Amino acid sequence: MSSTGDKIKGMANEAVGNVKQAVGKATDNDKLRAEGKAQELKGEAQQTVGKAKDAVKNTVDKA
């Protein structure tokens, strides 16, 4: 997957995770809150992968 794709998927997962956390908090559903936090962290990791790919590409392009 491209760096842009990783970053987009990461943002989407982070957004969905935040919504799940909010709904879990509003409904006092600890399971949904935990799922949301896990999905948010997954999204953050995906974005980090995308940024790392960009950094590698930029380094290679400069060489």
What pLDDT, in 10s, does the model give residues 13-31?
A: 999 999 999 999 999 999 9
Q: Which domain holds residue 32?
A: 3-62
How does 15-50 read in b/e, with b if 16+ C-beta sit within 10 Å? Answer: ebbeebbeebeeeeeeebbebbeebbebbeebbebb
Q: Between residues 21 and 1, which one has the greater pLDDT?
A: 21
Count of domains observed in the chain: 1
Q: What is the pTM of this model?
A: 0.85
